[in-house]
Amino acid sequence: MWKKLFAWLDERLGLNDLYKATLDRPEPKGNWWNTLGSASLFLFVMQGLTGIFLTVYYTPSPDHAYDSIQYIMTGVAYGWLIRGIHHWGATLMVLVVFIHMVRVFVTASYKYPRELNWLIGVGLLLLTLAMGFTGYLLPLDQKAYWATTVGTSIAGSVPLIGGFIFKVLRGGTDISALTLSRFFAAHIWMMPAALAALIGTHLYLIIKHGESAFPDKED
């Protein structure tokens, strides 16, 4: 019965071809350092899933943001756990993505034909950091408020376009309801969508070029 169902779907969706193209490849010759890209991917998915649960109770308005987080921590069943995973997962993701990048640099895997994937990786690192920055404001406690005040002021000090960036980030001159909704929209929708698209392209290029081998004495 399952075989028949699979054959029916395979005929229409090309599941076998998809499996062969993406997963049925020779095992790359690597070591534990080669697992950090997949660890980054795992953390991205984990952040997405826990983030979706958090949006069920979180309210992105200045009057309710702080209280909604307190409610998640004390009133919602396992809310503390979901928020804890999301909170520490964010720090861990920055760390793991960074070490993954260092590994790629040390093994010189950014060279031909992987230059484009390195550049996409730079985009991934910047987006991961930006996710951390935008997420930091959402609990709207004192730490969040002042960190965003400092962060947006630093962005505002960029020569020539600083004033523009400052206004776009804050939605005015002060940290306000507009800043919170902008950061929320960027954090839960714009940046994850951009990250997902870049990760898709990153993985496509890895499948296309294969994993680079670790340099040995001869190299």
CA 4 from centre of chain: 38
Please report whether residue 69 would count as binding ligand HEM according to CB under 6 A.
no
Q: How many residues are there in the chain? A: 219
DSSP readout, 71-127? HHHHTSTTHHHHHHHHHHHHHHHHHHHHHHHHHHHHTTTTSTT-HHHHHHHHHHHHH
What element of type H or E holds 196?
helix 191-209
Give me the least distance between CB of 87 and ligand HEM, in Å please. Answer: 18
Q: Are 37 and 114 in contact (CB under 8 A)?
A: no
Of 110, 136, 190, 194, the one binding ligand HEM by CB under 6 A: 110
Piece of 73-81, 96-104, 166-174, 175-183 that binds ligand HEM (CB under 6 A): 96-104
Please report whether residue 135 would count as binding ligand HEM according to CB under 6 A.
no
Piece of 18-26, 115-123, 159-167, 172-180 that binds ligand HEM (CB under 6 A): 115-123
The sign one gets for the Cα dihedral 96, 101, 103, 109 is positive
Of 46, 76, 99, 125, the one binding ligand HEM by CB under 6 A: 125
Please report whether residue 37 would count as binding ligand HEM according to CB under 6 A.
yes
CA 141 from centre of chain: 23
Of 47, 50, 68, 128, the one binding ligand HEM by CB under 6 A: 128
Toward ligand HEM, which CB reaches closer, 47 or 148? 47
Toward ligand HEM, which CB reaches closer, 54 or 97? 97
DSSP 186: I
Toward ligand HEM, which CB reaches closer, 65 or 85? 85
Please report whether residue 148 would count as binding ligand HEM according to CB under 6 A.
no
Q: What is the C-alpha separation between 164 and 158, in angstroms, rounded?
A: 10
Interacting residues with ligand HEM (CB under 6 A): 34, 36-38, 40-41, 44, 97, 100-101, 104, 109-110, 114, 117-118, 121-122, 124-125, 128, 199, 202, 206, 211-212
